[in-house]
Chain A
Amino acid sequence: MPSSRNPQLNRHGQLQHLLTLDGLPRDILTAILDIAAPFTEVAEREVKKLPLLRGKSVFNLFFENSTRTRTTFEIAAKRLSADVINLNVSTSSTKKGETLLDTVDNLCAMQADMFVVRHEASGAPFLIAQHLLATGRDHIHVVNAGDGRHAHPTQGLLDMYTIRHYKGGFEHLSVGIVGDVQHSRVARSQIAALTTLGVPDVRVIGPKTLLPTDVERMGVRVCHDIREGLRDVDVVMMLRLQNERMNGALLPTAQEYYKVWGLTAEKLALAKPDAIVMHPGPMNRGVEIDSAVADGAQAVILDQVTFGIAVRMAVMSMLAGQ
């Protein structure tokens, strides 16, 4: 099993699949952001479609339900003229005992050109990419649309696009990531991208129960005090707190979480005056973020959604043209 090499780059160092931002070279990250820029304009045209993926079949392979993410990938693929087939596998074949790779083999036989994969287990898209490589089907591309706690690379990229859009670059920024880093694939992708792009000061902010062991090794600073953590940051990246984590052994209550870690105008005032506030959605208003902040002038949360489509178009067209 060729697990020692990251299968997302081919032998020429080009992007073959997008599986993780961790370890992705800076020039590839930058190239994706550069390519995404002109795609943002397509939405303003009469015909919101480009011919790049005409005749290609993109399979949205969602082993875990997520209407939101699936929809953004669907829009991106359709704007590139691809045929999009949505499969919610959680409700079909795996329940009948079919393995993940059986499902993939079946779809390959239907002439798939690209898989957009969401799975509840970390590493599932790697398994698929390694399987395609091992079976000589390297013309098929895999895009990770979120795997377990591991990675959500397109979300990380659209966040970088948003930061670059508002801040112009990365070199002098302070960025605070607030909340449940432990269970967040979004946070891992953000950290990987921010550190690769040269952000000198990345802070993760939250209680010990929600920050993973040795997270400092990923190049971030740990702050348990949100006031210290937000001081003079240029970017505040909020994370979603899953319902099932709110009451139990990780956190006592959503109320206490909001009181200590929720982003309010008063806490945001500690950041730089022109700081932007980001959130991957869907938001829990009154838990991790106050409505006044979520709807406030510093929030760029809806822009993230718009940019997300352009970034996903960029990724898909880079892969399919490889």
Chain B
Amino acid sequence: MFKLDAEALCGALAESMRPHVTAKTCLVGIHTGGVWLAQRLHADLNLRQPLGSIDVSFYRDDYGTKGLHPQPQRSEIPFDVVGAHIIIVDDVLYTGRTTRAALNELFDYGRPAKVDLAVLVDRGGRELPIAPRFCAHVLDGPLPANQSLQLERCPEGTLSLRLANA
């Protein structure tokens, strides 16, 4: 029953963003799915600024209850954040907590001029006042909490979305 073509959505997302990006626009992907997506968008949109990546493990608000992610990745922001136009890229938008964590982390690098959010799929279930500026697909109704929706990448680089029981 679940049929979402990640490749097609990816193309649609790039097209929706194209009118709004400039040579100075910077992309920052959130580990892990968001980074794959950001790499694709970075190429499709022909962006000149180096691509950034963020692992929000150190900024998560559930650290006190769930502890540290066992293998956090290094965040890399290879451009000057101060005064930049930044688009945070994530694969699936859910509660909004990851986005909040990414914003907090980003601001520890400096004060950007503007930050937007681009996601492939909005699965509903928001717990914070966060909305994407660019979104390729919104699910008809919110996905139950016991299900997870994740971007996957096969060895050849093709992207797909997978629905699983969490």
Please determine if A and B sit in direct contact within the complex, based on CB atoms under 8 angstroms apart.
yes
A interface with B by C-beta (< 8 Å): 31, 34-35, 37-41, 45-47, 49-52, 317-318, 321-322
Docked Cα-Cα span, A296 to B68, in Å, equals: 38
B58 x A38 contact (CB < 8 A): yes
Indicate which residue in B70, B74, B109, B110 contacts A37 across the interface (CB closer than 8 Å).
B74
A47 x B68 contact (CB < 8 A): no
Q: How many residues of B contact A (CB 8 A)?
A: 22
Docked Cα-Cα span, A147 to B110, in Å, equals: 41
What 0/1 pattern do residues 94 to 127 of B give for CB contact below 8 A with A? 0000000000100111100000000000000000
Docked Cα-Cα span, A31 to B70, in Å, equals: 7
Residues of A within 8 A of B157 (CB): none
Docked Cα-Cα span, A322 to B73, in Å, equals: 19
Nearest 5 A/B pairs, CB to CB: A321-B67, A47-B108, A38-B74, A50-B58, A321-B68
Residues of A within 8 A of B3 (CB): none
A35 in contact with B74 given A47-B108, A49-B108 (CB within 8 Å): no
Can you list 25 residue pairs at the A/B interface with Cβ under 8 Å? Answer: A31-B70, A34-B70, A34-B71, A34-B72, A35-B71, A35-B72, A37-B72, A37-B74, A38-B57, A38-B72, A38-B74, A38-B75, A41-B74, A45-B108, A45-B109, A46-B110, A47-B107, A47-B108, A47-B109, A51-B58, A51-B59, A52-B58, A318-B67, A321-B68, A322-B67
Residues of B within 8 A of A31 (CB): 70-71
Given known contacts A35-B72, A45-B109, A321-B64, what 5 new A-B pairs fall within 8 Å (CB)? A37-B74, A38-B74, A47-B109, A49-B108, A321-B68
B59 x A50 contact (CB < 8 A): yes
Residues of B within 8 A of A318 (CB): 67-68
A317 in contact with B108 given A31-B70, A38-B72 (CB within 8 Å): no
Residues of A within 8 A of B55 (CB): 38
What 0/1 pattern do residues 23 to 53 of B give for CB contact below 8 A with A? 0000000000000000000000000000000
